[in-house]
Amino acid sequence: MGITRRTFIKASMATATAAAVGLPVSQAALAAAKTMENDWRWDRGVCRFCGVGCGIQIATKDGKIVATKADPDAPVNRGINCIKGYFNGKILYGKDRLTKPLLRMKDGKFSKQGDFVEVSWERAFDEMEKQFRKAYSELGPTGIGIFGSGQYTIQEGYAAMKLMKAGFRSNNIDPNARHCMASAVAGFIQTFGIDEPAGNYDDIEHTDTAILWGANMAEMHPILWTRIVDRRSKHPNMRIVNLSTYSNMSSDMADLEIIFRPSSDLAIQNFIAREIIKRDAVNWDFVKKHCVFATGPYDIGYGMRNNSDFAFKKEMDTQAEQRMHTLDKFEAIGQRRKPGTKVPQDAQAKPGAHWLIEFEEFKKGVEPYTLDFVAELAKGDADESLDQFKAKLQELADLYVDAQRKVVSFWTMGFNQHQRGTWVNEQAYMNHLLLGKQAMPGNGAFSLTGQPSACGTAREVGTFSHRLPADMVVFNPKHRKTSEDIWHLPKNTLNPKTGSHITKIMRDLEDGSIKWAWVQVNNPFQATANANHWIKAARKMDNFIITSDGYPSISAKVSDLILPSAMIFEKWGGYGNAERRTQLWREQVPPPGEARSDVWQILEFSKRIKLKDVWGEQKVPGLKAAGFTDGKMPNVLNGARKMGYKSDDTLYDVLFAHERNKKFAWPDPIANGHDNHTVDLLGDGWFVEKALFEEYAQFGRGHAHDLADFNLYFHKDVRGLKWPVVNGK
C-alpha cells in the first residue's frame, strides 16, 4: 500500500482526534499509521525539561529521532505530555547545533582576543591542558572551577565531581541548582537531617487540599497540575489555594486566590503557626514523638560581597545592606525593635547556626503575627479591601487547621529564590509538623523542582561545593574517609575545605582567584544574577573559560574554548526527579558531527593529568582542619604507591578505568541493540555509564538512599524507581 506524508498526517490527526473523544477509529486509519511506523524503533526515556520526570517514548529511524510521545505506563504523567515534552526530539536538530570544537585564535595561536576557529579535539584538549597546568601551578586547587548543573545526567555529575574532588583535590564545583534549590536543600537538612522530599506525587490523589505557595503549577508543572485538577473534579471536598504575587493561570482553577506582597509569605506562615497555637490545634502526640523547637540568627546579610570594591555605582546602596540593614516598621515589630533601627549583619559567617528552644519561646516568637498585622503587611492587590484580604487569610488558616482535612503544600522558585528562602522552606515544614500533617498519604510539604536532575544529580551525587554523594559533606572527617575508601584513595586526598559556590566562582573570576573554569550543561553567564559583572570578568580578566554545550549560548560566546556536546538521547544517561524517582535511558541516536558526550569529555581530559601533577603538596588558603597543616593539602603520593599506584598513572587510570569498573564490560545485553559512542571513543571496552552508576550507588545503599541495580531500571515493567529501593521496589 502506498502512502504519502500528507495522507499519513491526515490519518494520524484523525486517529488521535477520534481516540481523544472516544470514537471508533477506522481500520484504514490505523493501518496507515502502522505502515508509516513499520521501520521505526521505539524505546523509552524521560523528559529533560523540568523536575517532574515524565516518561516518554522515542521513535528513531536512520539515526534520527522521528517522534516522541508520552509513555502511557509512566506513573508520573500517565500517558500525557505537556508542550515541553513534545520537544525532546526537536531540540536536537536546530540549525545552529555545535558540531566541532571552537577555539579563540589569532595568527594560528590561542588568543583571548581572537575569533573562534574550528579545531580538532586534540588541539582543543592541548590548549585546555596547557591553561589548566598554568592555573593549577600558580593557584593550586582553588584556582580552578567547574560550573555544574541540575541538568547533568547522573553519570555526568558523578564523573565531574569525582574528577574535581578526588583528582584535582578541588571543591570548586557547584551547579546552577545552587540558584534554584540551595534554599530547599538547607531547609531539608536543617529540618530533617536528610535531603529530598519525603512525599510522593501520589499524595495528590489522596489529599483534600492543594496549597500553592508562589508556584504557578498550571504553567510550570502542567502535568502535576492536571492531576490536581482531576482530583478537584472527582473529590467534592477538594480545595485548591493559589498564593502568588500576581494572578496567573493557576488562579483559574483555584477555589481561593491570595495575592500577597513579595516576601510577605514569611509573615503569612507565621500567622498560620500562631493560629495553630491559638486554636489549640497542635498535634502534641506527633510533635512530642518527632519534633524539637529551634531558632537561629536573623542578622545574616543577603549573600552579597561584604565590600563594595567590585560594585557599580548604582549598586552601592544595595551593597550596603549586606553590612547594615535598617528596619522598616514591620521588621521592627517582628524583631521587637523600633523602626529605623540599624542592625549590623553580624551572623553572615554562620547563617545556618541554630539552637534548641522551648515551646513557650517559640510561641512568643510568632505572637506578633496577628491577623491585623499580617494583613496590613502582606496584602498585595491594591483593588482588594483589607477586610477581604483578612477573610482570605482566615480561610487559609481554616484549611490548614481542620484536623479532618489532608493538606499538601507545593512550592518551587517562589520560595527557593527568595531573599530568605531557607527560612520560608523551614516555615512550610514547621506548620505541617505542628499539625502532624507530614509524610502521610495526602499530607505533606512538597518542594517541587525546576531542573530534570537537580535532585538526582546535583544534590544526590554531590556536585555542590560542600557535598559528597548521599548527603555526605567534605568538612566531615568520617564522610571523607568513607569516600576515600569507596574510591580507593590515600588518606587525606580529599580537601576538607568547602569550595566556592557558583556565585563565588563568578566572583573568583572577577577578582582573579580562579583562572580556569569549565562550564558543563549550564549557561551561567546568562542565568546568574548580575551577569554584567561575570561577562566582563570572563572577557577582561586573565583566565581561560571552557563551555561544553550543544548550542552557542551566551556562556559559549564569552568563553575561550567551546566543546560541542551530545544532547540527551545522543548518549546514555539518567535523571532523578522531585519525588526521588530515578530513571535511566539508552543512547537512541548518534551525536552530530564531532559532538561528544560530557562523560567522554571529562574522562578523555582526565587522561592528560597524572597523579604527580595533583597529588603532591598543594596550597589551599584558609584550610584549617584536624590532621592537616594549615593552608596545605598534603603530599599523598607515598600513600598512593603503597596502594599500588604509580606517580605517572593518569587520573583516568586511577579514578575511572580501574579494574573494579572494567568488570562492567561492553557490549552488554541490556543495550538491546543500542550504541554507545562514549564507550566506542574511549576504546577500552568497559561500560562507562553502568560502571559509574554502580560505583556511585555504593554511597547510598544501606544509608537510606538505596538505588536499585543498574539493569533493573531497564526492565520492561519498570518506569523508574523511587529511592530508597527496598527489595527491588
Length of the chain: 729
Q: Which of 181, 238, 291, 506 is catalytic?
A: 181
619 — phi, psi (to 5°)?
-80, 135
292 — phi, psi (to 5°)?
-130, 165
Instruction: Show the DSSP H helices in 82-212 as ranges.
Output: 121-139, 154-162, 177-192
Range 439-442, long-range pairs (CB < 8 A, 24+ positions): 439/198, 439/199, 440/406, 441/202, 441/203, 441/206, 441/406, 442/203, 442/206, 442/207, 442/208, 442/406, 442/408
Locate 479 and state its grid cell: 564522610
Spell out the SS3 assignment of 130-152.
HHHHHHHHHHHHHHEEEEECCCC
Locate 575 and state its grid cell: 535523571
CA–CA distance, 671 with 57 (Å, rounded to integer): 16
CA–CA distance, 55 with 242 (Å, rounded to integer): 27
Locate 678 and state its grid cell: 562514549
Q: Which of 47, 54, 128, 180 is catalytic?
A: 180
Q: Which of 36, 220, 413, 430 is catalytic?
A: 413
Known catalytic residue at 291: no
Range 130-133, long-range pairs (CB < 8 A, 24+ positions): 131/515, 131/516, 131/544, 131/560, 132/516, 132/544, 132/609, 133/613
Known catalytic residue at 84: yes
Instruction: Let me know: does 159 contact 602? Beta carbons within 8 Å.
Output: yes
> Per the omega criterion (within 30 degrees of 0), is the bond before 175 cis?
no
CA–CA distance, 550 with 591 (Å, rounded to integer): 10
Q: Which of 143, 442, 450, 462 is catalytic?
A: 450
Known catalytic residue at 220: no
> Per the omega criterion (within 30 degrees of 0), is the bond before 24 cis?
no
- Residue 367's identity, in one-letter code, is E
Measured over the CA atoms of residue 402, residue 403, residue 404 and residue 407, the dihedral's sign is: positive
The residues near 55 (Cβ < 8 Å, ≥ 6 apart) are 44, 45, 46, 47, 70, 71, 73, 74, 75, 76, 77, 583, 719, 720
Give the gyration radius of the chain's Cα atoms.
27
CA–CA distance, 213 with 415 (Å, rounded to integer): 7
Q: Which of 131, 269, 345, 451 is catalytic?
A: 451
CA–CA distance, 92 with 685 (Å, rounded to integer): 27
Q: Which residues are catalytic?
A: 84, 180-181, 413, 450-451
